[in-house]
């Protein structure tokens, strides 16, 4: 999140970059509207803190206004449109680093057992099945912070829920490579990324994750599946009347994943070869 305007009466600094709600900084904390999913997310964040995983926010409960409170993470926040993403986020090394973050996040969950009584944002609560973790589902550049030591941290766990690790990988590959059909958007937001560089970045994410051959074989289909699921999720949330998602669907955010899926599907074998 990026700095915004400060309200002198409340000493709350409105942070830019939030796409589905107002986010404010108060001192060393970040606050925003809580949801029915907040207790499940905070249980996950509490576990991560308990095992020494510091590349995610610390959950600090709720404030007097009922907003969720998390520790502010120092560093440079990533963005996604309309301004260009900062150069440190656009490198092959950054793709490798975010892949490594994802692996560490998944491994740090060892021993964590979600409470089936606590619902997630878009699915009910349930126990983890064999081979599952809690998937962040939204590790885009806009939800990352480049910390002063050069490492990445990830914020905004609103869409976390149980799933297979490849689901997280698919979203990172889509966002960071990027696997976008719109060349104008790639030039505007990523500085232009030729196909050859996209192939290198695609592979770098999986190298950072230390993905084995079996996982790599799953990735192309998982990417296509993630794109179509994203479109459906946005449509579903808009249909429920959530104003932020009604706006996003009206702006074409549910159509773009399907166009990205068409673009990627036409080049699927090139990307599969780059990671085999």
pLDDT in tens, 83-132: 799 999 999 999 999 999 999 999 999 999 999 999 999 999 999 999 99
pLDDT at 80: 77
Instruction: Please report which confidence band the pLDDT of residue 18 belongs to, taking 50, 70 and 90 as the band edges.
Output: low
When divided into structural domains, the chain yields a total of 2
In whole angstroms, give the CA distance from residue 269 to residue 276: 10
Residue pair 193/178 in contact by the 8 Å Cβ criterion:
yes
pLDDT above 90: residue 200: yes
Q: Which of 28, 54, 71 is the last residue of a domain?
A: 71
103 and 22 share one domain: no
24 occurs within a structural domain: yes
Residues 124 and 231 reside in one and the same domain: yes
- Within this chain, do residues 67 and 80 fall inside the same structural domain, yes or no? no
Residue 21 sits in the same domain as residue 87: no
Q: Is the pLDDT of residue 19 over 70?
A: no
CATH code: domain of residue 61: 3.30.200
1 in a structural domain: no
- 210's torsion region: left (phi>0), alpha (psi -120 to 50) or beta? left
86 and 223 in one domain? Answer: yes
- Are residue 26 and residue 82 in the same domain, yes or no? no
The CATH number of the domain holding residue 243 is 1.10.510.10
Looking at residue 83, its pLDDT comes to: 78
Reported confidence tier of residue 36, pLDDT bands at 50, 70, 90: very high
Answer yes or no: do 158 and 265 share one domain. Answer: yes
Q: Judge if 146 and 93 occupy the same domain.
A: yes
Burial tier of 239 (Cβ tally within 10 Å: 0-12, 13-18, 19+): exposed
Structural domain containing residue 40: 6-71
Considering 71, 100, 123, which residue would you say is the last residue of a domain? 71
Instruction: Judge if 93 and 198 occupy the same domain.
Output: yes
210 and 247 assigned to the same domain:
yes
Tell me, yes or no, whether 234 lies in a domain.
yes
239 in a domain, yes or no?
yes
Q: What is the 3-state secondary structure (H, E, C) of the chain?
A: CECCCEECCCCEEEEECCCCCCEEEECCEEEEECCCCHHHHHHHHHHHHHCCCCCCCCEEEECCCCEEEEECCCCEECCCCCCCCCHHHCCHHHHHHHHHHHHHHHHHCCCCCCCCCCCCCCCCCCCCCCCCEEECCCCCHHHEEECCCCCEEECCCCCCEEECHHHHHHHHHHHHCCCCCCHHHHHHHHCCCCHHHHHHHHHHHHHHHCCCHHHHHHHHHHHHHHHHHHHHHHHHHHHCCCHHHHHHHHCCCCCHHHHHHHHHHHCHHHHHHHHC
Which residue, of 48, 71, 94, is where some domain finishes?
A: 71
- Which segment of 99-113, 138-152, 197-211, 237-251 scores lowest on mean pLDDT? 237-251
């Amino acid at each position: 999140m990026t700095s915004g305007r400060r309200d002198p009466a409340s000493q709350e600094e409105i942070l830019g970059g939030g796409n589905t709600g107002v986010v404010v900084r108060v001192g060393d904390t970040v606050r925003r509207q809580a949801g029915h999913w907040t207790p499940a997310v905070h249980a996950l964040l509490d576990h991560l803190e308990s095992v020494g995983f510091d590349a995610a926010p610390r959950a600090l409960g709720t404030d007097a206004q009922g907003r969720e409170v998390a520790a502010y993470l120092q560093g440079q926040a990533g963005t996604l449109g309309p301004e260009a993403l900062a150069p440190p986020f656009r490198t092959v090394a950054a793709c490798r680093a975010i892949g490594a973050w994802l692996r560490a996040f998944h491994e740090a969950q060892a021993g964590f057992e979600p409470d089936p009584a606590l619902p997630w944002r878009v699915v009910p609560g349930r126990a983890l099945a064999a081979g599952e973790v809690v998937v962040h589902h939204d590790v885009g550049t806009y939800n990352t912070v480049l910390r002063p030591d050069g490492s990445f941290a990830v914020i905004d766990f609103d869409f976390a829920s149980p799933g297979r690790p490849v689901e997280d990988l698919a979203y990172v590959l889509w966002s960071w490579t990027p696997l976008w059909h719109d060349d104008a958007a790639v030039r505007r937001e990523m500085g232009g990324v030729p196909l050859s560089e996209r192939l290198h970045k695609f592979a770098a994410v999986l190298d950072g994750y230390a993905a084995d051959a079996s996982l790599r074989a799953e990735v192309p289909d998982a990417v296509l599946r993630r794109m179509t699921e994203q479109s459906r999720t946005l449509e579903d949330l808009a249909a429920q009347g959530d104003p932020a998602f009604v706006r996003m669907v009206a702006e074409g955010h549910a159509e773009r994943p399907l166009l990205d899926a068409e673009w990627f599907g036409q080049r699927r074998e090139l990307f599969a070869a780059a990671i085999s």
